[in-house]
Amino acid sequence: MRIILKLEPNSLYDSIHELVRMAYPGCEIVCGEGEGDLMLELRLDIDDKAAVIAAQIHTAQGARTRRERCAIAADIGAGLFNWAKQQVRAFTYDLLCELTGENINRYGILTGMRPVKLAHRLFDQGLNPREIEKRLGSDYRLDPEKAHLLVEIAKANRPYLLGADEAGKWVSIYLGIPYCPSRCYYCSFPGAVLTNYETEIIPFLEALFREIRALSGYLKERGLKVQTVYLGGGTPTVLSTYHLERLFAELVACGYITAQTAEITVEAGRPDTLDLHKLRALKANGVNRICINPQSMNDNTLAVIGRNHDQKGVIKSLEWVREVGIEKINMDVIIGLPGEGLTENTNTAQQILRLEPDNITVHTLALKKGSLMAEKENGITPQERTRQVEAGVELFSDLLRGAGFIPYYLYRQKYMKASMENLGYARPGSFCLYNIQMIEERQTIIGLGGGAGSKFIDLKAGSLESFYNPKNPAAYCQTVEQLISRKVDKLRALN
Ligand code: SF4
């Protein structure tokens, strides 16, 4: 399907194109002149008293128009243009729901990754939970269930957000090890498959250690403390025990890990990279949270998605983690894996609950361009798949809540079907601090290593800038000096 957008002003494109994509998944969207199956002409005019939004829609069935006049509040001030864009989004959302005859997005006009941030903003403005849910429905068009979920999560994680004074004194550190032992079929793959340990890992670690040492100077200069350290990837546990110990020694020597560091997480996503010896080393180096990610507890599925382990490997890893005494365990699962429906989801949920982790992160499969599976998906209609995924999400929610878990962080992805979300559940008191800081974006995160993302939060200016290291290890090694100086410049510019 080809959709032509004629917008006045053109800058409205950023506000509405994602909604159009949600209404017509897979469509081609063209801005300007041309032939299409549907043409949407949209115009925004603002005068002293109101924003006037007018649309003309042309389809094979004919043309129709819609017009709305939104009064401008007397105290709107500098927020006028953002308010007007929000009105255009709400107008477009209503129009697209009417055209398609369905709710195009249960999150209403929110299409970004972090919808909970809006609930926090409304809490900051002094609204109570009931008022926030109402506002999310009326102004942002969320359905009541999603509005309630956002408020529930914001309420749960607000106590862990630092106030402006404290937030300026703390940072979190993300370390990216962009290697995996093999490629899982559903993954758009953040880095490289490790083929030769010596020739790949040694130069990568040299570059990483250069970055670690250089950025520690900035922390000392500003007197900053590290609240959490998160070792992600890729699969960080592809590193040998020796190199993991060297990495932690470097982090301690450079002042990233101190007695004040509240949480050190290691993603050990693939059980095929673990052994008892390695886990002992992690525990001895202060790791207090570990992610063992089965994705599914069905061996057939694990084989189909290219994981080099079975469910017994997951159970064994958990036994080792308990034996060495790492305090908190997270387990990731994915709903929507090929061949999986409610029976398989139930088996996964029940087996995982029997293992009693502290956190369970429930992902809905977002088939990103570039994943092998997106290229292969067939045999099931998008509507069937959507229904399956929605049923699986509901099943996990019921079982996990019934077992005492509560949702505490949420993010969405592009290409996410079924208007779904990735949802982190935890037992009360077992929340992952890093996940909260990373998703709610109220603390600077310094990313070091391959594919590592940094977020520079300027609390006084109320601004945020993201910065990403190359995920390709060779590109990372070649550019590490420039990365260091650009990052230090950005950090020094923060108020
Ligand atoms: S282990 Fe994780 S990062 Fe690596 S290929 Fe599999 S899903 Fe992707």
Q: What is the pLDDT of residues 22-61, one digit of tens each?
A: 898 878 999 988 888 999 999 999 998 999 999 999 988 8
Phi, psi of 443, deg, nearest 5: -140, 140
495 occurs within a structural domain: no
Can you give the length of the chain in residues?
495
Q: Are 183 and 220 in the same domain? A: yes
Q: Are 169 and 311 in the same domain? A: yes
Determine whether the shortest distance from the Cβ of 234 to ligand 1 is under 6 A.
yes
Distance 186 CA to ligand 1 centre (A): 8
Residue owning the nearest CA to atom 3 of ligand 1: 234
Q: Are 430 and 351 in the same domain? A: yes
121 occurs within a structural domain: yes
Q: How confident is the model at residue 485 (pLDDT cuts 50, 70, 90)?
A: very high
**Range name among 145-159, 193-207, 363-377 with the lowest pLDDT average:** 363-377
In this structure, which amino acid lies at residue 412?
R
Q: Are 129 and 216 in the same domain? A: no
Q: Are 400 and 432 in the same domain? A: yes
Q: Are 421 and 320 in the same domain? A: yes
Domain boundary among 85, 104, 123: 104
Q: What is the pLDDT of residues 359-383, one digit of tens each?
A: 999 999 865 554 555 545 556 776 7
Q: Is the predicted pLDDT of residue 66 greater than 50, yes or no?
A: yes
Determine whether the shortest distance from the Cβ of 271 to ligand 1 is under 6 A.
no
Distance CA 150, CA 158 (A): 12
Q: What is the pLDDT of residues 399-430, one digit of tens each?
A: 999 999 999 999 998 765 556 899 999 999 99
Determine whether the shortest distance from the Cβ of 183 to ligand 1 is under 6 A.
yes
Q: Are 171 and 263 in the same domain? A: yes
CA angle 47, 49, 54 (to 5 degrees): 60
Distance 235 CA to ligand 1 centre (A): 7
User: How far out from the chain centre does Cα 6 lie?
Assistant: 32
Q: Return the sign of the alpha-carbon dihedral for residues 18, 19, 22, 28.
A: negative
Q: What is the pLDDT of residue 162?
A: 87
Structural domains of the chain, count: 3
Q: Residue 461 sits in which domain range?
A: 164-489
494 occurs within a structural domain: no
Q: Return the sign of the alpha-carbon dihedral for residues 159, 466, 463, 492.
A: positive
Determine whether the shortest distance from the Cβ of 187 to ligand 1 is under 6 A.
yes
Q: What is the pLDDT of residue 32?
A: 86
Distance 148 CA to ligand 1 centre (A): 32
